[in-house]
Chains A and B, each alone.
Chain A
Amino acid sequence: MYPGDHGNHEEELDALFRAYREACPDREPGVNFMPGVWQRIEAQQRNTFSFLHMAQAFATAAVAATLALGVYLYLPQNSSARAGAYQQNYLEALADANSVETPDIVGPLRLDLRQSANQPGR
């Protein structure tokens, strides 16, 4: 079955394994075996339950913190919108300040050369 250079030991080893099987027979468990199994199962269930309980509490706290942070971030933006501050960029603010209706007192100077040429005495 297992070829090799240990040929003569093969059978002896098999016999030793068989003897080992007999030297370690099946054993009857003690009277506390089943109660012990159930104790361990219940202990593990308690651990699992308390872990789940903690995980649920943590998840709830995380959701609450997220909501609170969301509200906190939303409220300042809303109040500033009501106040009307910082809602325009610089160019929009400049355009509003110099609208078409506003007199162009600082506009570029325009010279009409034809008009000055037709004037007598020049």
Chain B
Amino acid sequence: MLVDFELIERAQRGDSAAFNEIVQVYRKRIMGTITRLIARTEDVEDVAQEVFVRLYFSLDQLRTPKVFEPWLYRLTVNAAYDYLRKQRRRHEFRMSDLSEQQVMLADAAAGGKADHDEQQQKRIREAVDSMLGAVSEADRLLLMLKEVEGLSLKELEKIYKVNENALKVRLFRARQRVLKAFGASAQGQAG
């Protein structure tokens, strides 16, 4: 835990200074998690703000400060999930407006500005995002939390409020799908 229980209890009682302190401590970590979950850097701050607004209004429902971090992660996952659902609708609309050539030109212009490292990182992000397209958004978030954020099954159990076996099955299936997509992309590159 990055903060002590007393600070959380003070925030629960409506202490604005305590709430501010919690946000200061967790905002960087939450923004990092959201960056990896939604893979769109320009909207990360917006989603992170939404997470802390939801935290503010749901703090009184937190039974014990012991479960604060899984609670915050749960809010983060839900906000990211809501964002992805909205974004998918907007994206479909936006991409349908552009011709294939326009999309390629936009990508080339964006690539020209970035230096080599950034391009490399961009390629990695795109490769992972493309592979994760093989699973549902819910499974994408679950895989991210497990494989990229490094959360344990116990932690995931608290976030998702389902038993460990159900999580294992879901993770296994999601990973198998991603592996299949990964294998197909590796074969495509080799061929």
Residues on A lying within 8 angstroms of B by beta carbon are 2, 4, 6, 9-10, 12-14, 16-17, 19-30, 33-34, 36-37, 40-41, 44
Contact = CB atoms under 8 A, between A and B. Distances in A.
A17 B53 CA distance: 30
A9 B183 contact: yes
Contacts, number: 97
B31 A27 contact: yes
Interface of B: 20, 23-24, 27-29, 31-32, 35-36, 39, 41, 44-45, 48-50, 52-53, 56-57, 120-122, 124-125, 127-128, 131, 147-150, 172, 175-176, 178-180, 182-183, 186
A25 B125 contact: no
Given A20-B36, A20-B148, A40 B182 contact: no
A45 to B, nearest CB: 9
Contacts of A21: 36, 148-150
Nearest to B125: A23
B179 A24 contact: no
24 contacts: A4-B179, A6-B176, A6-B179, A9-B182, A13-B175, A13-B178, A13-B179, A16-B131, A21-B36, A21-B150, A22-B121, A23-B120, A23-B124, A24-B36, A24-B121, A24-B148, A27-B44, A29-B28, A33-B27, A33-B48, A36-B45, A40-B50, A44-B53, A44-B57
